[in-house]
Chain A
Amino acid sequence: SQQGEEDPQALSIQEGENATMNCSYKTSINNLQWYRQNSGRGLVHLILIRSNEREKHSGRLRVTLDTSKKSSSLLITASRAADTASYFCATDRGKLIFGQGTELSVKP
């Protein structure tokens, strides 16, 4: 069962540009997490934001959380070709339920 909806489903940008991905969910959560997946590989944890937090930064990543709107966004600044991957949000209520994902392509 999928908890979240992500948009866009696919995003293609040039190196140096910013990439913004959005995630909406339906139920209350303990926290929300963002993951990255390179093609055919496992997932890499990017950032966790708790339900009582509104914004969090990690390097070039910025995550926001709006629990009133049940939505989150992931911003990657100054993108690089190596950022090309699929990005998933996952809501945490004891178990992680993943959104549909955004396929990001960063062209050099």
Chain B
Amino acid sequence: GAVVSQHPSWVICKSGTSVKIECRSLDFQATTMFWYRQFPKQSLMLMATSNEGSKATYEQGVEKDKFLINHASLTLSTLTVTSAHPEDSSFYICSARTEGTEAFFGQGTRLTVV
């Protein structure tokens, strides 16, 4: 299957700082990328959907100014957690797809805010 690379796989940051997570589709062009958040022992919660070259569509309850999503090219999307706080600590997963096909997932990023 296609490969989606997510980086970093884990990060620890101080409260108040910002963290950027990258999601790349390595061998296909992703018209759409999704960002999810997952708490321990829970399911994936969709945060936002991004299409290349346009603004991300955020799910209800997700703060746009806190979770900045950029989808600058067909192979790269970034999620920036701004002014991170301990409650933002979570597992963040991206996925990428071409319309109508299955989605391929990155390996996830474990964010710990101290």
Do A and B belong to a common assembly?
A: yes
Q: Could you tell me which A residues sit within 8 Å of B by CB distance?
A: 1-2, 30, 33, 35, 40-45, 48, 88, 94-101, 103
Q: Are A41 and B59 in contact (CB under 8 A)?
A: no
Task: Say yes or no: B107 contacts A100, CB within 8 Å.
Answer: no
Q: What does DSSP make chain B's interface, helix, strand, loop or mixed?
A: strand
Residues of B within 8 A of A97 (CB): 46
Q: Smallest distance from the beta carbon of B107 to chain A beta carbons, Å?
A: 4
A31-B59 Cα distance, complex, nearest whole Å:
20
Checking A2, A40, A95 against B34 with a beta-carbon cut-off of 8 angstroms, the contacting residue is A95
Query: Which B residues contact A (CB, under 8 angstroms)?
Result: 1, 4, 6, 32, 34, 36, 41-46, 49, 59-60, 91, 93, 95, 100, 102-108, 110
B residues near A99, Cβ cutoff 8 Å: 43
- Tell me how far the C-beta of A32 lies from the nearest C-beta in chain B, rounded to whole angstroms: 11
Tell me the minimal C-beta distance from A35 to chain B in angstroms.
8
Q: How far is the CA of A44 from the CA of B108 in the complex (A)?
A: 12
Pair A96/B107 contact, Cβ less than 8 Å: no
Within the assembled complex, what's the spacing in Å between the Cα atoms of A97 and B43?
10
Q: Given A40-B91, A42-B6, A45-B102: A95 and B49 within 8 A (CB)?
A: yes
Cβ–Cβ contact A43 & B43, under 8 A: no
Contact B91 A48 (CB under 8 A): no
Q: Choose from B32, B34, B43, B103 the contact partner of A45 (Cβ within 8 Å).
A: B103
Q: Contact: A96 with B108, CB < 8 Å?
A: no
11 A-B contacts, Cβ less than 8 Å apart? A1-B46, A1-B60, A2-B45, A33-B103, A45-B105, A88-B44, A95-B49, A97-B46, A98-B43, A98-B46, A103-B41
Residues of B within 8 A of A45 (CB): 1, 102-105
Which of chain A's residues have a CB closer than 8 A to the CB of B4? 42
Residues B43 and A100 in contact, CB atoms below 8 Å apart: yes
* Contact call B108/A40, Cβ cutoff below 8 A: yes
Q: Is A42 touching B107 in the complex (CB atoms < 8 A)?
A: yes
